[in-house]
Structure 1
Amino acid sequence: MIGIYVRVSTTEQAVSGYSLDHQIESCIQKAGTNEVMRYIDDGYSGEFLERPDLERMRKDVRDGLIDKVICYDPDRLARKLMNQLIIDEEFRRKGVEVIFVNGEYAASPEGRLFFSLRGAISEFEKAKIKERTMSGRKGKAKKGKIVKNDHVYGYDFDSVKSEMIINEKEAEVVKFIFDAFTSPTSKFQGMNGIAKHLTETGVPTKKGGAVWHRQVVRQILMNETYTGMKIQNRWNTEGLLANKYNRTGEDKVKITERPKDEWIYSPSPVIIEKEQFEHAQELLKQSRRRYTKKSENQYLLSGLLRCSSCGNTMTGRVQNNWGTKVRYYSDRKNTAGAKNQGCGVSVKSDEIEGHVWSNIEMLLNNPEKLIAFQEVAATTETFEEKELKRLEQEIERTKKGRKRLITLITLSEEDLDLNEIKDQIKDLQTKEKNLQNQYTELQKEMEAEKKKTTNLDILKQAMDLYFVYKDKEMPFEIKQRIIATLVKEIRVHDKDTMEIITF
């Protein structure tokens, strides 16, 4: 029985000469009979061997059902030369002749060479098409055009103009999500609460789904596109197509983030103001501490305290004092993998919580004093500034250590273990690179922080919430929400001295 194999990928379906009907007709004509077994892979890339009908044909060849295979062209069989040769050799071992409509390839050294050259050219053409496509997309993005429809919630995509257009109905939901997450008076408990509300009120997702998940809300809150700037060329997706054909799940290609200097920024219609977006990012950093599960012992300043000496965050703990449980905050880290075990600073929870809350009340009753707080913070060396100095010193020490080792190799007449010294140099190079990356990232964070301005609307919202409960017994959750809204960090110098850093 003669088997004919035809294939067309999704991108080739409109290309002249590669339509399935044309290939089938040509193969049948070559066979000289209509009595053929047809193997058709519609919409499958020739880059991989894992294709349903190709696998079926290979099995039929192994089982002896097929004695001849006709294919329109070698690149229909496979795009890669190696894969072409694998299939050709596999079929020939079974005595099955492989015939191509578009060219004769005799079973001779010359014919095999021509077959190989033809496959190599096909593979080269595929690579060039891919390169031109990527280059064209980058050029288009640099001109401010949107090259791909990412189906961002809140927008529709105009494929003709390559532009994003606001979807008014979805944009209202986006605004609600940001307002509900950033407002101190919000009744929704974080991303889970927002997702639950959207599900219960029947708001459809971008794909028309009925259920909203916390992660979807998080992705919306983190998407800078809403501020008027869409990032393109951020993710490297090369090789991801292989995952579609990877049945074992092993060695799957992972999406990776390109270096920031390769990102391309294109304008998009504004839905969320930059100031509110930045505030949402700050709250996202705190989200784990703002909406953690309630425990037997509640800590008003959870996640906000940091030891000014060692830089460790201070966590709430309980110890027994002659039968009485006492809550306190400590910078000690008991985990084996902790970079810094802490310097042993601890403060009683009741004392520091009372002190911080009295300061917050003073600010809310006298908002003009917030300026004084910010001025003091501006003249105080921050933990980040101290960390920059430390990193500078570490980088300099690493450079000197590497130079000493190089000098040792050059000048020493002793019998040295050069391989060991070279390994030490490599380790120092790696350490220096990691330190430099940390230094650069910290610098960027500090620059971004300097550009931020005080959000008076947030202060007003916190004040409104405070005055609603001022003359009542204020719930713990309300106190915690007000503090988390106004306070960025609290630096503890010792049990009697602390510094409140406001937004």
Structure 2
Amino acid sequence: MIALYARVSTEEQAKSGYSLQDQIRQCREKAGKNAECIEYVDDGYSGGFLERPALSKLRNDLREGLIDKVIVYDPDRLSRKLANQLIVTEEIEKRAKLIFVNSEYKNTPEGILFYQMRGAFSEFEKAKIKERMTNGRRAKARKNKVVKDVKVYGYKFNKESQELEIYEPEAKIVRLIFELFTDPRGRVQGINGIAHYLTDKGIPTKKRKGVWHRQVVRQILMNETYTGVFYHNKWNTEGMLVNKYKDSDDEKVSMTLRPKEEWIPVEVPVIIEKETFKFAQKLLKESRRRWAGTSKNKYLLSGLVRCGDCGNTMTGRRAKNWGTYVFEYSDAKNTAGAKHKGCGNRVKCEDLDAYVWNHFVNVITTEGESAYSEVAATTETQDSIPFEESELQRIEAELIRIKSGRKRLLDFMTNNADIVDEEDIRNQLKELKEKEDHLLKLKEETAALLEERKNNEVNDEIRAKAVERYFENENPESMSIEERQELLRMLYREIRVYSNGKIDFISL
């Protein structure tokens, strides 16, 4: 049986005239009249990778012994990458005869050398084509043009002007999503709540589907394009074309973020104001903690309280105290696998809730509508330092302890080689390495938060909304716990409680 293999990618079909029909026709002529042939055709697949449906089927049929001759129009149809071309060639040569229409292949030292040289030039040509296309796209982007339809919900692509234009039916949904997230007013709870809300209202997605998923809502909330800037060359997608042909997630290539200096900004119409977007990003960082789960009991400060001594979050729980059940916030972590059990700090919910709410009301009512501009100055005590700064100090101390512990283990293993349990030492070293990696990641995130905190201006617009929301209620003290939670979360990112009674309010 003779296999006829043909491949064409989009740009080659347009520029080089490698039509599939012509390739197959010439391969059939090479095979001869009345020859029994099977066609293997990859239409629109790049020669830069091997994971192509028809080529994979051909290789499998070769292994099954169905093929005794393979005819290809040109070596670069097998692959545009020399290493891959040689791999496929060797596979074919082991089980069948390889014939090219456009060149002569000989399995001799000279023939193989020429074949490799031709493959190298083919790979170089492919790289140059890619470079020219990439440079062309970047040049257009630098002229404030959107190179292709990026399919951002809320916009439509104008092919003639190569610009994004606001598509109002979708843009109003984008504004609604940001409003529901930053000012829910009891309508929804978190990202999941927004997804259910949009689905229940029958609002279609970008792909005209009726079901919204939380990840789609999250992507919209994180998309900076809505503030008036779209970035070209932001993501590195090299190699991702083959992901749909890989079965295992471990084998798939992930999209990575390029260094920011390589991004190319393009101005687009504004849908969401920058202040609102910034506030949404701050809420997103805390959303997983705030909406992590549900409890039988409702706690006013759920997701806001942290122990100022050990750094553990403090969650609401019902505890037994001298035969009486009380509700309290505690830093104790009793779940299996919890790395930090907490230092035992706890405070009665009733006491802390009253103190925090009274503090909030005092800030709001004392200064009236100007209160929002004073919140940042009044929410931390004069002698306290930002939480991020104290957290960095704690992390640095932990890293020093880990380094010291690792040195002691290595010294012990070196000095007691005859009696030491090497496997046990290695496991301890592995645990220290995992803890060190976790702390280094946490350090990087905390440092970024601290830098953002130093550079961030007080969000007057958001704080003004909190004041407005409070005063528009005729009887503020009758507000539900959900309404109070929303107001507190508009002003505070975290409330730190110390065992000595000290309380710090960390603003957004």
Pairing 1:83-94 to 2, within 5 Å after superposition:
83-94=84-95
1:51 and 2:61 aligned: no
Residue deviations 1:188-222 (CA, integer Å, cap 9, x gap): 23323322232233322111112112221111111
Mean Cα deviation higher: 345-354 or 434-443: 434-443
Alignment: residue pair count: 490
Residue deviations 1:326-380 (CA, integer Å, cap 9, x gap): 1111233445765654333221111111111222222333334555553243844
- Quote the offset at 1:31 in angstroms: 3.4
1:386 and 2:390 aligned: yes
Equivalence for 2:451: 447
Supply the distance in 2 between the matched residues of 1:309 and 1:204 (Cα, whole angstroms): 48
Equivalence for 1:68: 69
Of 478, 482, 494 in structure 1, the residue corresponding to residue 483 of structure 2 is 478
Pairing 1:364-383 to 2, within 5 Å after superposition:
364-366=364-366, 367=368, 368=370, 371=373, 373-376=375-378, 377=380, 379=382, 380-383=384-387
Question: For residue 77 of structure 1, what is the amino acid of its counterpart?
Answer: L
Equivalence for 2:254: 254
- Quote the offset at 1:180 in angstroms: 1.8
Q: Residues 391 and 264 of structure 1: is their aligned pair in 2 closer, same or farther, counting only changes over 3 Å?
A: farther
Contact 1:290 1:484 survives alignment (8 Å)? no
Supply the distance in 2 between the matched residues of 1:472 and 1:400 (Cα, whole angstroms): 54
- Quote the offset at 1:382 in angstroms: 1.5
Q: Secondary structure in 1 aligned to 2:495?
A: strand
Pairing 1:21-40 to 2, within 5 Å after superposition:
21-33=21-33, 35=35, 37=37, 38-40=39-41
Mean Cα deviation higher: 451-460 or 309-318: 451-460
Equivalence for 2:266: 266
Contact 1:232 1:265 survives alignment (8 Å)? yes
Pairing 1:257-406 to 2, within 5 Å after superposition:
257-291=257-291, 293-334=293-334, 340-366=340-366, 367=368, 368=370, 371=373, 373-376=375-378, 377=380, 379=382, 380-389=384-393
- Quote the offset at 1:177 in angstroms: 1.1
Of 494, 497, 502 in structure 1, the residue corresponding to residue 502 of structure 2 is 497
- Quote the offset at 1:20 in angstroms: 1.1
Question: For residue 207 of structure 2, what is the amino acid of its counterpart?
Answer: K
| CA RMSD, Structure 1 to Structure 2 (Å) | 3.9
Residue deviations 1:296-333 (CA, integer Å, cap 9, x gap): 22211112122233333222222212332111112334
Equivalence for 2:79: 78
Q: Secondary structure in 2 aligned to 1:318?
A: strand
Mean Cα deviation higher: 458-467 or 229-238: 458-467
Q: Residues 469 and 284 of structure 1: is their aligned pair in 2 closer, same or farther, counting only changes over 3 Å?
A: farther
Mark the runs of 5 or more structure 1 residues left unpaired by the alignment. 403-414
- Quote the offset at 1:35 in angstroms: 4.4
- Aligned-pair identity (%): 51
Supply the distance in 2 between the matched residues of 1:434 and 1:321 (Cα, whole angstroms): 36
Q: Residues 20 and 391 of structure 1: is their aligned pair in 2 closer, same or farther, counting only changes over 3 Å?
A: same
Q: Residues 247 and 296 of structure 1: is their aligned pair in 2 closer, same or farther, counting only changes over 3 Å?
A: closer
Pairing 1:187-226 to 2, within 5 Å after superposition:
187-226=187-226
Equivalence for 1:110: 110
- Quote the offset at 1:155 in angstroms: 1.0
Question: For residue 24 of structure 1, what is the amino acid of its counterpart?
Answer: I
Residue deviations 1:136-173 (CA, integer Å, cap 9, x gap): 44454445433443311011123444422211221111
Supply the distance in 2 between the matched residues of 1:475 and 1:383 (Cα, whole angstroms): 30
Equivalence for 2:492: 487
Supply the distance in 2 between the matched residues of 1:457 and 1:247 (Cα, whole angstroms): 46
Mean Cα deviation higher: 28-37 or 172-181: 28-37
Residue deviations 1:49-104 (CA, integer Å, cap 9, x gap): 4434334444555666654332110111233334433443444444x432211111
- Quote the offset at 1:16 in angstroms: 2.5
Contact 2:183 2:486 survives alignment (8 Å)? no
Equivalence for 2:101: 101
Q: Secondary structure in 2 aligned to 1:164?
A: strand
Supply the distance in 2 between the matched residues of 1:476 and 1:400 (Cα, whole angstroms): 48
Supply the distance in 2 between the matched residues of 1:184 and 1:48 (Cα, whole angstroms): 48
Supply the distance in 1 between the matched residues of 2:287 and 2:88 (Cα, whole angstroms): 55
Supply the distance in 1 between the matched residues of 2:208 and 2:272 (Cα, whole angstroms): 23
Q: Residues 128 and 16 of structure 1: is their aligned pair in 2 closer, same or farther, counting only changes over 3 Å?
A: closer
Q: Residues 488 and 249 of structure 1: is their aligned pair in 2 closer, same or farther, counting only changes over 3 Å?
A: closer
Equivalence for 1:245: 245
Taking structure 2 as the reference length, the TM-score comes to: 0.82
Contact 1:345 1:495 survives alignment (8 Å)? no
Supply the distance in 2 between the matched residues of 1:431 and 1:322 (Cα, whole angstroms): 38
Contact 1:333 1:342 survives alignment (8 Å)? yes
Taking structure 1 as the reference length, the TM-score comes to: 0.83
Contact 2:286 2:493 survives alignment (8 Å)? no
- Quote the offset at 1:4 in angstroms: 2.5
Mean Cα deviation higher: 314-323 or 138-147: 138-147
Equivalence for 2:410: none
Q: Residues 156 and 70 of structure 1: is their aligned pair in 2 closer, same or farther, counting only changes over 3 Å?
A: same
- Quote the offset at 1:174 in angstroms: 0.7
Contact 1:147 1:162 survives alignment (8 Å)? yes
Pairing 1:136-155 to 2, within 5 Å after superposition:
136-155=136-155
Mark the runs of 5 or more structure 2 residues left unpaired by the alignment. 407-414
